[in-house]
Structure 1
Amino acid sequence: MKLKENVLIFSDLDGSALASTHEFSEFTKNVVKKVYDKNYYFIPVTARCTKDTFEQQSIYLELDKLGGIAAANNGTHIYDFKKNNWIRKEYISKDTLKQIFNITYGKIGKYKVHFIADDAYFVYGPGENSFYWSEIMKIDYKVIDSFEEIDKEINHITVVLEKEPSQESIELFYKNFAIISNELDIIKYTDRVYELAIKGIHKGSVVKEVLNYLGLDQSNTTTFGFGDSFNDFELAQEVDNFIAMENGLKELKEKASFITKTNDENGVANYIIENIL
């Protein structure tokens, strides 16, 4: 493959660059260093929260020392460690949060909602999966009973419908949430799980934002993307070369230009070594 002068590598973390243990292998860490030694960029693009992405995952990869870039919350926050400044930092408005709270509060079983801040989850009732991820990311987990208890800025929201929702329930969900459509996009993960994201922000928008920030474009830059799950489809659409993980979704693999080994076999790092460096 003939590469252009500049190379940007955007990679999902969980299920992709991270092993199933939620840790980076030493091999992956060494490959990331080689990427920066070549004056290329390896840019984590993850759904993980702000604190975890920039204070933990990026530090494990030594992006702070390498002068790297990373993106959290599927793109609401993008940080440049080289210049120590935010490329993007956005939050959902208080009015929209209040609307969502009023629609969903008291309806556990119909709607399970996670309001995600930079360093905390706010939930109506304890949930096994959300609590698990708060523990993995080492952030606060707060069960709330009123809107006023959401005392931090929120960057994105997940809504989980009832188990095996009917078509009628799905249609009602879209109808109920139409009032926030001016500010937020509804991104479908499954028939049950949805993300409410600031309009136009997703992993694909990170590619455009970083290229613009660095003063690069398609004429002088080759872009790569790695991913495995629902929130990687937009990334796949925006990069020149999208590489799906062997452990990824079938639908995502169908859109990929290449399928690499699983996340537990250093699939991301192996592809970089064999095809980019």
Structure 2
Amino acid sequence: MTIKSLYISDLDGTLLNSHKEISENTKKTLNTLVASGGYFSVATARTAVSSQKILSGVQVNTPVVLMNGAVIYDILDGKYIKTETIPAAAAYTIVEVIKKHKITGFMYSVFDNRLQVYYESLNTTVLKAYHNERVTKYAKSFEQIASFSDKIKDNKVIYFVFMGKKERLSELLPDLKKLQGIDMVLSNDVYTENLWYLEVYSTNASKYNAVNYIRNYCSFDRIIGFGDNFNDIPLLKACDEFYAVSNAVYELKEKSTGIIANNNSDGVARFIVARREF
């Protein structure tokens, strides 16, 4: 009996090189995999807009996991097939917590198959850089508002992201951990030293839950995953096999099935070529 397998990879720090690009060799390998009857997808913290731009030229034939599992998106049909919403009460309290600590960031919602990103102010160089890169490079739409609270009632809020020093973001954790219905991950940026991201989402939103949904949705018998950072631990737990690139954090390497070449050496592509005969 033929085993239906899915290869699913994180993007930044794993499939992407240090220039935030997929090499031509990796694109060729992935397209050959799909053309030969294989399946490929990604599980990333990125949104549909930036993921599609990055994946241009790659034949992705399976729904993708975005925003660390907050949404599952069908690239071929251009629609969200599953979203996990933060409870409104929790969303309002998150806003109170960040005001208390004088921290702001970005709030994401999905309405009528459209992702909207809100921000209150770009009061740090990190927030400005995050906003400007996504507007310039990916043509992503942002809307400035007076307060996140103004948009919670009538929108399906799925995700908050805050960025800065680890110590500063850690100040939010005790208050956020008291809330019901949300989960979070604090992870370091793979491109900028001493820059950390705190991502907050529904307890139902995780790479683990999203990958298991895709397993059932597409009837996969086996899932082989790849990653590099703390937010890939849930992905690891959902896979039958999981391989960390050699540039991955120690905690992920320790739990992985094995270690492969780093993201600048086409580690994922080299593994797939060694594993399959095209």
Return the TM-score normalized by structure 1: 0.80
Q: Tell me if the contact between 1:125 and 1:143 (Cα under 8 Å) persists in the aligned partners.
A: no
Is 1:223 matched up with 2:223?
yes
> Which runs of structure 2 are paired with 1:137-156 in the superposition (5 Å)?
137-142=138-143, 144-146=145-147, 147-148=149-150, 153-156=156-159
Q: Tell me if the contact between 1:49 and 1:119 (Cα under 8 Å) persists in the aligned partners.
A: no
Return the TM-score normalized by structure 2: 0.80
2:54 to 38, 57, 69: 57
Q: Distance in 2 between matches of 1:18 and 1:119?
A: 25
Residue 43 (structure 1) aligns with: 41
Tell me whether 223-232 or 23-32 shows the greater mean CA deviation.
23-32
- Identity of aligned pairs, percent? 25
Residue 213 (structure 1) aligns with: 217
Residue 238 (structure 2) aligns with: 238
Return closer, same or farther for 1:233/1:256 CA change in 2, 3 Å cut-off. Answer: same
Q: Distance in 1 between matches of 2:166 and 2:64?
A: 34
Residue 74 (structure 1) aligns with: 68
Residue 115 (structure 1) aligns with: 107
Structure 2 counterpart of 1:139, which letter? K
- SS of 1:180's equivalent in the other structure is coil
Q: Distance in 2 between matches of 1:161 and 1:15?
A: 19
1:91 to 85, 88, 100: 85
Q: Distance in 1 between matches of 2:50 and 2:39?
A: 20
Q: Tell me if the contact between 2:84 and 2:205 (Cα under 8 Å) persists in the aligned partners.
A: no
Is 1:198 matched up with 2:202?
yes
**How far has the Cα of 1:88 moved from its partner?**
1.2
Q: Give the gaps of 5 or more residues in structure 2.
A: 110-114, 189-195
2:31 to 33, 37, 54: 33
Q: Tell me if the contact between 2:26 and 2:266 (Cα under 8 Å) persists in the aligned partners.
A: yes
Tell me whether 123-132 or 32-41 shows the greater mean CA deviation.
123-132
Q: Distance in 1 between matches of 2:76 and 2:143?
A: 34
Q: Distance in 2 between matches of 1:158 and 1:105?
A: 14
Q: Distance in 2 between matches of 1:276 and 1:91?
A: 38
Q: Distance in 2 between matches of 1:29 and 1:188?
A: 30
Residue 274 (structure 1) aligns with: 274
Q: Tell me if the contact between 2:106 and 2:117 (Cα under 8 Å) persists in the aligned partners.
A: no
Residue 176 (structure 2) aligns with: 177
